[in-house]
Chains A and B, each alone.
Chain A
Amino acid sequence: MTEPALQVKSLWKIFGPNAEKLIGTPDLQLSRKELQTKSGHVIGVRDVSFDVAPGEVFVVMGLSGSGKSTLVRLITRLIEPTSGEVILDGQDITKLSDPALREIRRNKVSMVFQHFGLLPHRKVIDNIAFGLEVRGEGKDSRRNRAQEMVDLVGLSGYERNFPEQLSGGMQQRVGLARALAADPAVLMFDEPFSALDPLIRRDMQNEVIRLHHEVGKTMVFITHDLQEALKLGDRILIMRDGAVIQIGRPDEVVGAPADEYVRDFVSEVPKSHVLTLRWVMREATGTEAAGSPVLQASTIVRDAARAVLATHGPVRVAEGDRVVGIVDDEDILRVVVAEDAS
């Protein structure tokens, strides 16, 4: 396996006056509420570790108050972590000096915010070029780069407008373009679309998917919207009360929830849209399906349904060349119908 683009190792954030002293004490085993009553400290992020592979879209998902926004801010130290390591580009970010940290922020990691964080007194193009300007790039080169970004996110023609003259979706495109302009190794999104209305949100999600195809950046994406997580994420981290509940691919999260909390959470997800054949196939007993069509185990149930239903008898499921199981109409319908019934 290649070197991860981003590594987070047992990261903690405790809010309160003596947070450092609590690390390593048994108090940390207490629940949030107990700890707050006992010592006035609040746990924001509790012992979180994960790796993100280069080019991966890694989604952190949780309800408000679960610590996901804190987590993403710990990574670039917009909030100082209490303990733990964040390895990016071979450096432990938690140990960097201020100037070194600024270099990282200027060149390696960019962030897109829920409320955009644009500068109202600057035009669109100058907002996008802002990051380049602060790292000292010349006017021409940053203008050119910004113009590229304007075209990339589809804002051509709006360069000279002020942010307040744009709709929310367009403002977030500016935010996106500003993040991309620095050509960072890792892009971070903090609930970037939750302030937008549903149709625009879907457009923007597609936009992110498109950009991911085009520029292939590593992305860490924070959301409270499970649909969004399932749609965008290569892998999903589910948080609750600051701690990791489960990390896995979308179908793993839906197919094998780690606990009741996650199960309850994913119960209303249309499973046929997420689960792959791997989750519905039965063991191949031998020859019964010989000669039937072969589908890959990673095929999503919904996409496989037509082929399976059109075939009399079971269909073979393969991982690569090796047949690993079979599915028949009933297996498919169980998933689809169960959904309608709920």
Chain B
Amino acid sequence: MSTAIAPPRAGVKEEQPYVDPTKKRYTGRKLLGLVVVWVALWLVVKNRDTLELPFAQTTGLHTWLNDFRDSIEGSGQSNWFMKYVIGGISAALNGIITALQGLLSTAVFPRPVPEIGWLGVMALIGWVTYALAGIRSTILVLVCTFLFGVFGLWQFSIDLLIITFVAVFICVIIGLPLGILMARNQRVSAVVTPVLDLMQTMPSFAYLTPMALFFGIGPACAVAVTLVYAIPPLVRITEHGIKSVSANTIEASRSLGLTSRQLLRQVQLPMARRTIIVGVNQCTMAALSMATIAALVNGPGLGKPVVSALQTLNIGAAFVGGLAIVLMAIMLDRTTTAASERAERRGGHTDVASVGGPGVVKNIVWLERLPRWASEEGYESPPRKHLSNAGRRFAIGLLVVPVLIAVVLSRTYLSLAQFGSFENVPVLSFLSGPKLASVVNTVVRSFVDAVDTFTNGFKEVVTVWFLNPLQALIATSPWWLMALVLLAIAYFLGGWRPTLVTAVCEAVILGTGLWNDAMVTLTMTLVATLLVMIIAVVLGVGMGRSRRVDVIIRPFLDAFQTIPAFVYLVPALALFGPGRFTAIVAALVYAVSIATKLVADGIRGVSPTTVEAARSSGVTPWQMISKVQLPMAREALVLATNQGLLYVLSMVVIGGMVGGGSLGYIVVAGFSQRELFGKGLAAGLAITALGVMLDRIARHAAARYES
């Protein structure tokens, strides 16, 4: 074999299919030119046609929506659809949840405690976890649930678990078949995908009241709003998982003569299982965060203590509630991940966790590559002994006995049924709700008192020098000028397709009658995204380059991604006072996490060979970052910007509660004031349109970079 054929020489070279060479686009110069023209025009025509609408005024659309609401309320009892279909569904949901609550969390009169007390519930939870995910997860789960009790939030926590599980269960029943169908049928996918986009971009506040209209307030409504928010990630990831089964395998299977049903059942589903479980994980996380917000429509769960703590500005109590939610998120996340790893122990392993959260408005699902040490395997370096399958089944069966005993005991003794107070127990007393809350209050208050002059000054500077001029430019430009500018930007960055989408979205915003408010919101969104990216690049580069930095920062990012925004609103208000900047800060806290993780991921993804080659040519660390790592992580940076943007948008409504005004405040007000129902709904629609527009522009710009 020493005479292997030499590679074909030039003369023999085959003709490749003809490809257009890429043209140079000069995007930067075009944008600069655009801005110059824009500012020049603005100086001439500013403050004309800005379409400002005073807060208390409404348009025809808004009153029409109000009337529509009234007619639904009016026909609620007589319309068969409302009475039997919607009414039936909500009665069934309420029934199931109330029954579960009576069983596990809530005393049903006249019994003073739930059917199964805390000991029994913990035993059951631990046992199910052990069966599904193994001993490590079980320990974690037991510690977390015990802490819920210590915090004094036992009932709220179990309620939240119940709502989350019922919602996830329904999600799986609906979402899994839908995802499979979408993966196998292009047309279904084309129809459903934009709907999922809308579901994820629409601010949840905007559909809380309409949902309450249909389902009434309470558990059924909580589950319904949670579904809207939690189904999309599951459907998307399922579709992605099935579609990404290797084409080689599919082809090989087809050549064996499989029917398409056999292909699905024996090849695609088993091979996509790991990804689908990631989808369930994401669905669970989304459900958890939404079930918290559902407290506003009387959804049971941990959202309640957090929301009521907000009324008395009790930062500490809100923090304890938030902490419990974070713990629950960690516990559910680790358990589903461990369950999926166990499921896949033999059949290959992927170090991925999906990037979840609101507005993962991507056709492609982006899977976050975890650094090795952050995945389960990372800290299991020496192979641990696992029980054999039969052994495990035996152990699970055997454990039924103590679980049953615990259940019976918890039905017998009040102290095992009702979580006592830990205020007088040594050590644990520091973790008991009221004590922990008062410590946090003291700490936060003294911190705020120490720095609030400085932070307020900082706010003034950013607002006066940065936010106000930009807002003047964007919001006092006539609407037609601004519309043209946005179209031009979309065209320069992404070509004619996002331009078309932008045109449609602009039409929608005009239709809502809230153009000026939308432009104010757009300004804040842009400023916030810029700040997010600055912080994300600094942190992300640090994390991508150093494992130690990653270990320190990552837990905080995870926490800020999970903790409900209500928890940090009061400290943010104390530090910065109400205003647009505070709204931006609230958005920052939430959006920086995801952007930072994606940047770190991109930096880490730069090929080690390239890094080595650069180092061997003697670059300084700064040159390494600026000339090698950041340029090569360009794709990740674009993606991080896109995601950062959508996360910022999802906080617009929360921002409205701390002085952000504009669309966010209108949504909040629409939720609270009857006369503003229609206007609030319209504002929600406008936010959605803004989100779709910005996302499409960013996505097409990113696609250009990638090609």
A and B in direct contact, judged by CB atoms within 8 A:
yes
* A residues adjacent to B (C-beta < 8 A): 31-33, 36-37, 42, 63-66, 73, 76, 78, 101-107, 109-111, 113-121, 130-131, 133-135, 162, 164, 175, 178, 182, 198, 202, 225-227, 240-241, 261, 264-265, 268-270
CB < 8 Å: which of B254, B271, B347 contacts A162? B347
A200 shortest CB reach to chain B, Å: 12
CB < 8 Å: which of B6, B11, B15 contacts A241? B15
CB < 8 Å: which of A107, A116, A178, A268 contacts B248? A116
Contacts of B249 in A (CB 8 A): 117-119
Interface centre among B249, B255, B258, B270, by most chain A C-beta atoms within 10 angstroms, is: B255
Determine whether the beta carbon of A202 is less than 8 Å from that of B14: no
Which residue from chain A places its CB closest to the CB of B347 in the assembled complex? A121
Contacts of A36 in B (CB 8 A): 17-18
The segment from B171-179, B259-267, B507-515 that touches chain A is B259-267
Determine whether the beta carbon of B252 is less than 8 Å from that of A113: yes
A341 shortest CB reach to chain B, Å: 14
B492 shortest CB reach to chain A, Å: 27
Q: Mark B374-407, 1 if CB is under 8 A from A, else 0.
A: 0000000000000000000000000000000000
Contacts of A198 in B (CB 8 A): 1, 4
A97–B266 Cα distance when bound, in Å, is 23
CB < 8 Å: which of B11, B17, B346, B347 contacts A42? B17
Determine whether the beta carbon of B1 is less than 8 Å from that of A264: no
Contacts of B14 in A (CB 8 A): 63-66, 240-241
A193–B172 Cα distance when bound, in Å, is 42
Determine whether the beta carbon of B252 is less than 8 Å from that of A117: yes
Can you name 4 extra interface pairs (CB under 8 A) apart from A131-B257, A198-B1, A264-B11? A117-B251, A134-B256, A162-B346, A182-B256
Contacts of A113 in B (CB 8 A): 248, 251-252, 255
Decide yes or no whether B613 CB sits under 8 A from chain A: no
Q: Mark B295-315, 1 if CB is under 8 A from A, else 0.
A: 000000000000000000000
A162–B17 Cα distance when bound, in Å, is 39
Chain B facing A: main interface SS: loop
26 A–B pairs (Cβ distance < 8 Å), ordered by A: A31-B15, A32-B17, A33-B18, A64-B14, A78-B255, A105-B256, A105-B257, A106-B257, A111-B255, A115-B248, A117-B248, A117-B253, A119-B267, A120-B347, A121-B273, A121-B347, A131-B256, A134-B266, A162-B347, A175-B252, A227-B1, A227-B5, A240-B14, A264-B12, A268-B6, A269-B5
Decide yes or no whether B618 CB sits under 8 A from chain A: no
A202–B253 Cα distance when bound, in Å, is 27
Contacts of A175 in B (CB 8 A): 252
Which residue from chain B places its CB closest to the CB of A79 in the assembled complex? B251
Determine whether the beta carbon of A105 is less than 8 Å from that of B255: yes
Contacts of A42 in B (CB 8 A): 17
The 4 closest A-B CB pairs, nearest first, are: A117-B252, A105-B257, A106-B257, A121-B347
Given contacts A37-B18, A120-B271, contact A135 B257 (CB under 8 A): yes
CB < 8 Å: which of B3, B251, B259 contacts A268? B3
Determine whether the beta carbon of B252 is less than 8 Å from that of A104: no
Given contacts A121-B347, A134-B257, contact A116 B252 (CB under 8 A): yes
Decide yes or no whether B348 CB sits under 8 A from chain A: yes
Determine whether the beta carbon of A76 is less than 8 Å from that of B248: no
Determine whether the beta carbon of B256 is less than 8 Å from that of A225: no
Determine whether the beta carbon of A261 is less than 8 Å from that of B257: no
Which residue from chain A places its CB closest to the CB of B11 in the assembled complex? A264
**B: number of interface residues (CB 8 Å):** 35
Contacts of A76 in B (CB 8 A): 255
Decide yes or no whether B9 CB sits under 8 A from chain A: yes
Which residue from chain B places its CB closest to the CB of A240 in the assembled complex? B14
CB < 8 Å: which of A31, A106, A115, A270 contacts B3? A270
A102–B258 Cα distance when bound, in Å, is 7
A76–B346 Cα distance when bound, in Å, is 33
A191 shortest CB reach to chain B, Å: 12
Determine whether the beta carbon of A103 is less than 8 Å from that of B257: yes
A133–B253 Cα distance when bound, in Å, is 12
Interface centre among B9, B15, B251, B257, by most chain A C-beta atoms within 10 angstroms, is: B257
A73–B348 Cα distance when bound, in Å, is 29
Determine whether the beta carbon of A268 is less than 8 Å from that of B271: no
Decide yes or no whether B8 CB sits under 8 A from chain A: yes
A256 shortest CB reach to chain B, Å: 18
Determine whether the beta carbon of A202 is less than 8 Å from that of B11: no
Contacts of B258 in A (CB 8 A): 102, 134
Decide yes or no whether B16 CB sits under 8 A from chain A: yes
Determine whether the beta carbon of B1 is less than 8 Å from that of A268: no
CB < 8 Å: which of B4, B9, B271 contacts A264? B9
A298 shortest CB reach to chain B, Å: 22
Determine whether the beta carbon of A134 is less than 8 Å from that of B262: yes
Residues of B1-49 at the interface with A, using a CB-CB cut-off of 8 Å, are 1, 3-6, 8-9, 11-12, 14-18
Determine whether the beta carbon of A102 is less than 8 Å from that of B248: no
A133–B258 Cα distance when bound, in Å, is 10
A63–B15 Cα distance when bound, in Å, is 10
Contacts of A119 in B (CB 8 A): 249, 253, 266-267, 270-271
Contacts of A134 in B (CB 8 A): 256-259, 262, 266
Which residue from chain B places its CB closest to the CB of A32 in the assembled complex? B15
Determine whether the beta carbon of B16 is less than 8 Å from that of A65: yes
Contacts of A131 in B (CB 8 A): 256-257
Given contacts A105-B257, A120-B348, A264-B9, contact A111 B18 (CB under 8 A): no
Which residue from chain A places its CB closest to the CB of B252 in the assembled complex? A117
A65–B12 Cα distance when bound, in Å, is 13
Interface centre among A119, A226, A227, by most chain B C-beta atoms within 10 angstroms, is: A119
B464 shortest CB reach to chain A, Å: 56
Which residue from chain B places its CB closest to the CB of A135 in the assembled complex? B257
A135–B256 Cα distance when bound, in Å, is 9
CB < 8 Å: which of A78, A118, A225 contacts B254? A78
A272 shortest CB reach to chain B, Å: 11
A104–B254 Cα distance when bound, in Å, is 11
Which residue from chain B places its CB closest to the CB of A113 in the assembled complex? B252
A78–B258 Cα distance when bound, in Å, is 12
A111–B256 Cα distance when bound, in Å, is 8
Given contacts A32-B17, A63-B8, contact A110 B255 (CB under 8 A): yes
A224–B391 Cα distance when bound, in Å, is 52
CB < 8 Å: which of B1, B5, B15, B347 contacts A226? B5
A166–B17 Cα distance when bound, in Å, is 37
Determine whether the beta carbon of A265 is less than 8 Å from that of B255: no
Interface centre among A120, A225, A270, by most chain B C-beta atoms within 10 angstroms, is: A120
Which residue from chain A places its CB closest to the CB of B4 in the assembled complex? A227
A31–B614 Cα distance when bound, in Å, is 45
